[in-house]
């Protein structure tokens, strides 16, 4: 195994770009990255594992959706710094619910394939909303509220977080359950916009919460003080 891993020029790239191709049709499904551990796991299991730059961790493709990729072959390029893998894709490859991640024509903006699976059912509403916010970063501000927030900059983004947090507390003080839910949804959206501005995926918040499960609140705050 180590001999295989040593074929990669890791000094040039700690994260190895990986092109993922349908083993039957030849369609390019996605592009991702592997570090040494992800490549080792992929070679050992023949199930695609990647390193997510947004999640900052190794993830098994399909760990949430069940849409795994079974790898049939690995090809390294002539510079030993890019990988091509040929796979059988269960379900769809893209988090949008499309078969391939490459569905938007750059010059015209035309969307060339339809959604096959509802992404909310695969990843949950929070992750789906986060990805939608990321996609709207470069949309037309005149037609997208999210794009308008990004265009106005961080002061506007942060002002909305503070504003919505205040409105949530007022709803709490008024003992208004319906308004609390409504304002919590607004606050969650604007927090996700702020996270997306810094490219911090919700998964990293989940990781931090999971880390705290075995730690009391007092111990956690003391640890931060150190």
Fold of 126-225: Helix Hairpins (1.10.287)
How far is residue 183's CA from residue 51's CA, in Å, rounded to a whole number? 35
Angle, vertex CA 54, rays to CA 48 and CA 57, nearest 5: 55
How far is residue 130's CA from residue 149's CA, in Å, rounded to a whole number? 14
Model confidence at 216: pLDDT above 70 = no
Beta strand 28-34 pairing with 69-76:
unpaired
pLDDT of residue 34: 97
> 2-108 in CATH: which number?
3.10.20.810
Model confidence at 96: pLDDT above 90 = no
Given pLDDT bands bounded at 50, 70 and 90, which one contains residue 95?
A: confident
Does residue 125 contact residue 114 with C-beta atoms inside 8 Å?
no
Please give the biggest Cα pair distance in the chain. Answer: 66
Residues 6+ apart with CB under 8 A from 187: 161, 164, 165, 167, 168
For residue 73, what is the enclosing H or E element?
strand 69-76
Given pLDDT bands bounded at 50, 70 and 90, which one contains residue 222?
A: low
* pLDDT, average across residues 64-76: 94
Q: Which residue matches tokens 């295989």?
A: 4
Structure tokens at 133: 């916010």
Number of alpha helices (DSSP H) and beta strands (DSSP E) in the chain: 9, 6
pLDDT of residue 224: 54
The per-residue pLDDT for range 127-160, each reduced to its tens digit, is 989 999 998 998 899 999 999 999 999 999 999 9
For the chain, the domains span: 2-108, 126-225
Given pLDDT bands bounded at 50, 70 and 90, which one contains residue 119?
A: confident
pLDDT of residue 218: 47
């Amino acid at each position: 195994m180590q001999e295989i891993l040593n074929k990669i020029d890791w000094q040039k790239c700690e994260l190895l770009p990986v092109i993922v191709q349908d083993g039957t049709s030849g369609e390019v499904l996605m592009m991702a990255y592997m570090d040494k551990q992800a490549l080792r796991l992929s070679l050992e299991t023949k199930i695609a594992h990647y390193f997510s730059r947004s999640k900052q961790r190794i993830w098994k493709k399909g760990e949430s959706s069940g849409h795994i990729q079974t790898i049939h072959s690995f090809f390294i390029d002539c510079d030993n710094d890019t990988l091509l893998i040929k796979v059988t894709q269960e379900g769809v490859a893209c988090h949008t619910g499309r078969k391939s991640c490459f569905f938007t024509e750059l010059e015209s903006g035309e969307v060339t394939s339809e959604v096959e699976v509802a992404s909310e059912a695969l990843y949950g509403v929070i992750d789906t909303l986060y990805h939608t916010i990321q996609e709207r970063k470069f949309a037309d501000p005149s037609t997208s509220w999210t794009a308008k927030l990004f265009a106005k900059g961080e002061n506007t983004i942060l002002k909305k977080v503070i504003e919505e947090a205040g409105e949530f507390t007022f709803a709490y003080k008024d003992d208004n359950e319906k308004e609390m839910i409504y304002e919590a949804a607004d606050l969650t959206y604007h927090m996700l916009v702020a996270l997306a501005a810094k490219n911090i995926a919700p998964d990293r918040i989940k990781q931090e919460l999971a880390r705290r499960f075995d730690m009391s609140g007092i111990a956690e705050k003391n640890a931060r003080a150190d």
